[in-house]
Amino acid sequence: METTNSGRWSELPIDILRSVFERFSFVDFHRAKIVCSNWYSCSKQSLLRKTGSPWLILFLNDGGCAMYNPDEARIYRTKRGFSGIRFLANSGNWFLVLDSKSNIYIIDLFSEKKIDLPPLESMKGGLFSLEQVGDTAFKARLNNGSAYSFHNAEDLRGLLWVDEKKKEFVVVWFFDKGTEYLAFCKNGEDHYRDIPIRKNVGKELQGLYDMVLYGGDSLYISTTRQSIQKLNFFGQEGFIDVSNSEILPFRKISFYLPDGARFGNNIAVTISGEVLLVQNFFYEATRYRSFRLYKKDPNPDLNTIINNPYPMVEVYSLGDEALLLDLGITVSADGTLLGIARNSIYFTRHDRVRSGWKHSCLDICVFNLATKKLKRFPGLSNLKLTDARWLHVPADRNLGIEPNSIYFTRHDRACYHGREPSCPDICVYNLATKTLKRFPGLGLDLSNNLKLKDARWFLPS
């Protein structure tokens, strides 16, 4: 039987809605926020329930997409169809995708949001131009007309960075086979600019082996000559090569590769901006996988520098960080945010950027650097997967903490001067907007319903 208020879910009081949102699982939280504008607004003010592990995004052979919660060993299937769509990269729940007509755009996996990007062939102001000659075929040419090459859309690779709050993004793409350049654009731009990686660059910086897009303003390129090039993006100015003091030749590292073992190299960037070389070893006979990390020696011995001007040292611990190798970055793992396993490497495959002629097989696992133990997920073994990626939800979004704000209760907590302590004034002050938010539900006004002695802000564990 219908009631007078049936069908008016969008008008529920904000405090009730927030209480409901904070009980949702990760998937249900994102499903609920797209019900209506009021629910979406409430989701921005709600505390997403903490999970014990990052989630996995699974891409199925039938073109479908699913989410996997390792803590529950449970799979959530999405209702959206992704037939004919290739997922190139992700930043949080935003994905860089390519459709069957070679249109490229960004989508939010949990909503209908979509950001159209310039066509691949809209390149300006560089050495190269690109022409589409079919649904999936492209012809690349030097702008002086001296040479050209053909590419297929199935070889397109990409990187993505999105800041949802600032509504900013950076997209980088390239063709995996025979590429001589990278292409990039930022929000507000209607074309791509190229980054040459063979023509007009130094010998040490030629070729491409791996890449990391870091923080939306820096691109780290690992070259086939085992050096690192760092580029900074600067709006309409394009990019500036700042690698002169940051070249890290990794070829000086020697190691023993046992019979039957396979080896892969990647780069990663820590929260502090330190560049890591990540080596992974896979043993065919036992299916065991291990990892070793290296960084530039911060205090090299003078005698060592004579023989090796760029000495490296092994990194035995990530401390309170974890490495998501799919993204090439470390994230906080101090136990207060997502519950990510500290000092661990989250892995799916090592050749996500450059695969050559054949992709490596998926190996979804978590490796602990301290114990050398490897954790896999047997519950996924029966699925026919084309790919999988670890999903990282930014910390400020998970906790619902207001950026650029001051959380206040009283000023004389350490010691107070005079006979009486100040009265509690529970509020949040935004430094940018100069607005003050109080909480009338606590009754701290003339109609005081609560008899409080004190109150303190704290981060839930």
Average pLDDT on 369-380 reads 91
Edge to edge, the sheet with strand 156-163 lists 156-163, 168-175, 181-186, 193-196
Mean pLDDT of 138-145: 85
Residue 180 Cα distances to 33, 260, 403, angstroms: 43, 34, 41
Quick check: is 68 in a domain?
A: no
- Where residue 461 falls among pLDDT bands split at 50, 70, 90? very low
With b for 16 or more beta-carbon neighbours within 10 A and e for fewer, the 276-296 pattern comes to bbbbbbbeeeeeebebebbbb
Q: What is the largest CA-CA distance in the chain?
A: 86
Strand partners, 266: 278
Q: What pLDDT is stored for residue 250 in this prediction? A: 61
Domain-embedded: residue 426: yes
**Residue percentage of the chain with pLDDT more than 90:** 29
Question: What is the model's pLDDT at position 147?
Answer: 72
User: Residue 127 class from Cβ within 10 Å (0-12 exposed, 13-18 middle, 19+ buried)?
Assistant: middle
In the prediction, which pLDDT does 34 show?
A: 74
Answer whether residue 342 is part of any domain.
Answer: no
Average pLDDT over the chain reads 80
> How far apart are the C-alpha atoms of 51 and 356, rounded to whole Å?
36
Within a domain: 457: yes
For 343-374, the pLDDT digits (tens) are 999 999 888 877 655 567 889 999 999 999 99
Q: 278: Cβ–Cβ under 8 A, 6 or more apart, which residues?
A: 265, 266, 267, 268, 291, 292, 293, 323, 325, 345
Residues in CB range of 370: below 8 A, 6 or more apart: 317, 343
Average of per-residue pLDDT across 106-131: 89
Domain count along the chain: 2
Q: What is the pLDDT of residue 62?
A: 78
pLDDT score at 336: 55
pLDDT confidence of 6, banded at 50, 70, 90? very low
What does the alpha-carbon distance between residue 161 and residue 125 come to, in Å, rounded to a whole number?
A: 23
The reply to whether 149 falls in a domain is: no
82: Cα separation from own chain's centroid: 21
Averaged pLDDT, 77-101? 86
How far is residue 314's CA from residue 36's CA, in Å, rounded to a whole number?
51
Check: CB of residue 350 under 8 Å from CB of residue 266: yes
pLDDT score recorded for residue 27: 66
pLDDT digits (tens, 9 = 90+) for 267-314: 999 999 999 999 999 988 888 999 999 998 888 777 767 777 677 889
Per-residue pLDDT tens over the stretch 26-47: 667 777 777 787 787 777 776 6
- Tell me, yes or no, whether 328 lies in a domain: no
- Alpha-carbon distance of 18 to 43, in angstroms, equals 7
Q: Name the most confidently modeled range: 77-81, 85-89, 258-262.
A: 85-89
- Comparing 112-126, 196-210, 432-446, the range with the smallest average pLDDT is 432-446
For 2-11, letters b (16+ CB in 10 Å) and e give eeeeeeeeee
d(CA 49, CA 52): 10
**Structural domain includes residue 32:** yes
* Dist CA 172 CA 192 (whole Å): 9
pLDDT at residue 48 greater than cutoff 70: no
- The pLDDT confidence band at residue 321, using thresholds 50, 70 and 90, is very high
- Convert the pLDDT of each residue in 193-252 to its tens digit: 999 888 888 787 788 889 999 988 899 998 887 788 888 887 555 666 655 445 566 655
pTM over 0.85? The answer is no
How far apart, in whole angstroms, are the C-alpha atoms of residue 282 and residue 265? 12
pLDDT at 399 over 60: no
Q: Is residue 455 part of a domain?
A: yes
* Enclosing domain of residue 427: 402-461
